[in-house]
Copies of this chain bind each other. A is one copy, B any other.
């Protein structure tokens, strides 16, 4: 498990597996202060859209506790402070909508409580635990819906990391792979290494090796030839934000993979919980794309005595027309568009702006 909140409001701590150190070291970070979690989110120690949302929800609990400790006795002042802290947490990672959605959703749920600051803080912990339980359920539901849709397909190409390190439970795009493997199917996974930060190689291969799922890692540049060769039955990816029209943001490289999948007649399946839906963003070109600093921990090697300038967007967006099927915990939408997604979007919208999930 990549994230766990131990204890109650007074003594609770958040344990985070430091994903920047995988696969070489398995180190758990123990966090008692919200600002530590914000720093962990920014430096990608915890990543994966649903997990980022959950870390934000628990960070908000820690922030609420800190606000209680510094409480001046003025509820108004307390709620102002908490609002400021919530905004700091929500803006730690701009591309994935789950973070802001989780923070907003938990605040709305807790706000309805009677009883002032302490009751709201307890309400936030309860809301975070409910979100975690929902995301675990979503992950299993995604696995069931996706495996049903995939039928006899067994050979998958995936990108970045979308397994148990990215989301509570089985993950998102890796969830059906785990379920098929668990049922004894002979799955074969091609793992895009996912430059520049190598989440595919470092995290997905690590997860799949532990679960004993057969896999091979490849450079992104090898994907086109692999797809042409007929070795892939489906491309499976997650999403960091799904717009009202079905366009979606995901790890950089996804858009190119989507074009190549279409070119070679290989279906593209996007798996994500409805907490990733964003009714407020109409289309992909409106999604804020995080750009890593030039060095990005990646292009540090000096060339001719000076560092190499880099273009390092962390995400890209893919138009809905390239999506064969979108799988959420509620089922599958083929060829998603604004009309087909409208019922789910309305639902996500009702649950807390940018979606706290059901």
Contact = CB atoms under 8 A, between A and B. Distances in A.
Interface in A203-255: 205-206, 209-210, 215-226, 228, 251-255
Contacts of A87: none
Interface in A311-325: 311-313, 316-317
Interface stretch (A69-77, A121-129, A193-201): A193-201
Interface in A277-309: 299, 301-304, 306, 308-309
Contact of A219 (B223, B224, B226, B312): B312
B221 A309 contact: no
Interface stretch (A9-17, A54-62, A147-155, A256-264): A256-264
Given A219-B195, A309-B215, A316 B224 contact: yes
Interface in A163-200: 190, 192-196
B210 A304 contact: yes
A111 to B, nearest CB: 39
A224 B308 contact: no
Interface majority SS (helix, strand, loop, mixed), chain A = mixed
Complex copy number for this chain: 2
A217 B308 contact: yes
Interface residues of A, number: 51
A23 interface: yes
A47 B173 CA distance: 39
A220 B217 contact: no
Interface of A: 23-24, 190, 192-196, 201-202, 205-206, 209-210, 215-226, 228, 251-257, 259-260, 263, 299, 301-304, 306, 308-313, 316-317
The 8 closest A-B pairs by CB, nearest first: A221-B253, A224-B256, A195-B219, A225-B316, A209-B304, A218-B311, A220-B220, A224-B255
24 contacts: A24-B301, A193-B196, A195-B220, A205-B308, A209-B304, A209-B308, A216-B309, A216-B310, A217-B299, A218-B312, A219-B220, A219-B252, A219-B253, A219-B312, A221-B256, A221-B316, A222-B252, A222-B253, A222-B311, A225-B255, A225-B256, A225-B316, A256-B256, A263-B263
